[in-house]
Each structure stands twice: as C-alpha cells, then as structure tokens.
Chain A
Amino acid sequence: SAVISQKPSRDICQRGTSLTIQCQVDSQVTMMFWYRQQPGQSLTLIATANQGSEATYESGFVIDKFPISRPNLTFSTLTVSNMSPEDSSIYLCSVESLGGGTEAFFGQGTRLTVV
C-alpha cells in the first residue's frame, strides 16, 4: 500500500488568488494523479503528473489554470490559479501501486472554498 500526505486539508481563499496543494507519497511512484470532486459529484481526473515531463491534462483542464509540478518520484503540487467560486471543490491526489494489481490510493483531500 501507499501512504499519501496531502496539504492543506482545507482552505478558504479570495477570488482571483491562487492556492498550491502539496502531495507527498511514502514510496517512489511513476505516475501521480490529480482529481477534482465538485459538490455532490463524483471524481473527475484533472491531469496525470509524470516525473521529468510535463503533466498530461484531461479534456476541459488546462495548464494555465492548473499548473502541476513533479520534481521527484515522491512529490507533486497542483496549483489552482486565478480562483473563482466555481473552483470550490475537493481536490485529491492519487497514486497507483503496482504491487497487488494496480490498486489506487488517495490522499486526505483538500477542501477548497473560494469566496
């Protein structure tokens, strides 16, 4: 299994500002994933963060709005830029452990409220 530490756990931010969310894993992983969960909805993948290359973004998400860093095999950050109330969501970091058949593990989530 993998243990993921994500911070902050929650934040209230002013519109127009940016927030950077950190994700630390207790083991080296090739790919890390960033998800968004809007209120009352299921999870939507934002992007896949690969170490040593640019992140791969899903349809509807762009690098200018959600820049991602992946400086090493255990750490990644997601920035939510120029925030608006529509960005209020839970943001989740995830990894997949190859041992035991690609099981996915998640951080505790960051609950973001934009006012």
Chain B
Amino acid sequence: DAKTTQPPSMDCAEGRAANLPCNHSTISGNEYVYWYRQIHSQGPQYIIHGLKNNETNEMASLIITEDRKSSTLILPHATLRDTAVYYCIVSIYGQNFVFGPGTRLSVLP
C-alpha cells in the first residue's frame, strides 16, 4: 500500500472548518483514500473514503486533487467532540489498512 504523510498536529477553533491535509504521492490507480479518526483510546471510527471524485457525507467532505497525490478532509463546523487523531489511509478495497501516526486535531473553545 502507498504511504501517506500527515502533519502531526493541528488546532482549530470551535465552529470553524477544520481542513486536514494528506499527501499520498505514490498512490496507485486502484487505491482508495480513506479517513478514520480515533477519539482518545477508543476504536477508530470510519469517516469517509473516495477514489477520484470529491465526496461528502454527514460527517465530512473529502477533496482529492486531480492528480490524486494529495487530499484534504474537511470538517465543516468543528466541535469539541471532534478532537481526535485523524488517519489518512490508502488501500485497495479497504483491507490490510496501515494506520500511520495520523494528525492530532485539537478543537479549541
């Protein structure tokens, strides 16, 4: 699986949009981009995934660049409960995930 690079930490003000970047420059054509998050030491939670097109669901939006070498997860109105570690993963068919260190997002009041 391709490797991803994420900033180790980010801060965001409550109520503002949180934009979490991810680089995956060696992604192959059949690999999807997945985002999960982990609140404290709970089990990771699925957020969203995509292949080429931008995706949106009730939790977040995923913007993938045209060359697919990077993506951005957007939490439109961050709340304190969104404080977590966010993982960007690339994988074929969602199996054998490799979770890197992720980005620790702190939402500040």
**Pairing of A with B:** no
Which B residues form the contact surface with A (CB < 8 A)?
none
Which A residues form the contact surface with B (CB < 8 A)?
none
